[in-house]
Structure 1
Amino acid sequence: MMYESIDTAVINDEDLPWVPFAPYSEEVFIKYIKCDPIRGETITLLKAPAGTTLPKHHHSGTVIVYTIKGAWKYIEHDWVSKVGGVVFETAGTSHTPIALAEYGDEIVTLNITQGDLLYYDEHDNICAIENWKTGVQRYRAFCEANGIEAKDITSFSV
C-alpha cells in the first residue's frame, strides 16, 4: 500500500472507554486513542481527581502534554500547566505529577508519549514499565472484562 491510498480517519473520544490506570490508581483514568507499534508512541487522554499525585516516572522518549481541564505540575518544578498549557518533556527526564486542587475538581490532559515510561517505587527502584504495548494490553483487558468490543487502537482507522 502506498501512502497516497491511506485514507484520513477520525477517532471520536466518546467511542472509547475511560480505563482505570491500574495497578497505579483506581481514581486515575486513561483513554487510549492510539498505541502505535511502529513509532512506539501513545496518544492518550488522562483524567485524575484534583489532589492526586501520580507515581514518579522517567521518560525514555519525548512527551507533549496539553492541559484540557484543571491544572497540574511536577513536584520537582515551579511552573503550573493550566487550561491551554502545553508542556514539552525531553527524553531522559524524571518527575512526579500532581493534579492541583485549587484549579478545579479534576484534570484532563492530552498526552503524546514516545518510548517507555519507567515507574519508580518509594526507593527509586524501577517497579513498572509502560509503553504502547502495555497500553494495548490494559485497554483490551478492560474491554474484555466489561463486555466492550475492543477497537484496533494500533490503527487510526478505528
Structure 2
Amino acid sequence: MLFEQIQTACINDADVPWVPFTPYSEHVLVKYFKLDPVRGETIALLKAPARGQMPRHRHTGTVIVYTVEGRWKYREHAWIAEKGSIVYETAGSSHTPEAVPVVDGSDEIVTLNIIQGELLFVNENGQILAAEDWRSGWERYAAYCRAHGLKTRDLTAFG
C-alpha cells in the first residue's frame, strides 16, 4: 500500500536559518520548515519585534497560528494572542497584525504558522499589493542560502 511507504521526517530548528521577510521587512524573520507545492501549504516560524505592525493581509486558505512567545492581536478584533494560544483563521479572512506590549519586557513575538494557500497583502481598499505562498517562500529561502553560502534543504518534501 502506498501510505505505508510515506516517510516520517524531522527537521530540527538548527537545520534551517532565520531568513529576513524581504521585501516587506528586514526586522521580521521567517524560518521555513515545509513548503508544500501539492497542498499549497507553508509551515514556518515567524519572529517579529514586539513593537509595530505588519501590513494588512487576506488569506485564500485556512491559517493556524500558535504563539510561542510574546503577545499580538489583529487590529480588527478584541482578543489578544499570548504564549500558548492558537488562532484559527478562515479562508477569506482579512486583518492587520499588531504587537501588544508585554509586561515582562520580551522584545519579540514568535509564532508557528501553518498556512494553506496565499497570503495577500492588501491596501485599505482591499486591492492586492503583493502575494506570498509556498513558492515565494522557497525563492526567499533559496536566495538567502545562496547569498550566505548555505546548503539548501528540499523543504518541498519530508523524507
- TM-score normalised by L of structure 1: 0.95
Inter-partner Cα distance in structure 2 for 1:66 and 1:6: 26
* Number of residue pairs the alignment of both structures matches: 157
1:3-42 pair list within 5 angstroms: 3-42=3-42
Secondary structure in 1 aligned to 2:48?
strand
Inter-partner Cα distance in structure 2 for 1:26 and 1:140: 17
**Which stretches in structure 1 are left out of the alignment for 5+ residues?**
none
**Which stretches in structure 2 are left out of the alignment for 5+ residues?**
none
Secondary structure in 1 aligned to 2:102?
helix
Inter-partner Cα distance in structure 1 for 2:52 and 2:140: 21
Shift of 1:122: 5.4
**Cα deviations by residue, 1:66-117 (Å, 9 ceiling, x for unpaired):** 0000111001111000000000000100000012222521100000000011
Shift of 1:7: 2.1
Shift of 1:126: 1.2
2:98: which partner in 1?
Answer: 98
Inter-partner Cα distance in structure 2 for 1:8 and 1:34: 13
Secondary structure in 1 aligned to 2:24?
coil
Question: What CA RMSD, in Å, does the superposition of the two structures yield over aligned residues?
Answer: 1.3
Shift of 1:123: 5.4
Secondary structure in 1 aligned to 2:137?
helix
Secondary structure in 1 aligned to 2:14?
helix
1:65-80 pair list within 5 angstroms: 65-80=65-80
- TM-score normalised by L of structure 2: 0.94
Inter-partner Cα distance in structure 1 for 2:99 and 2:88: 17
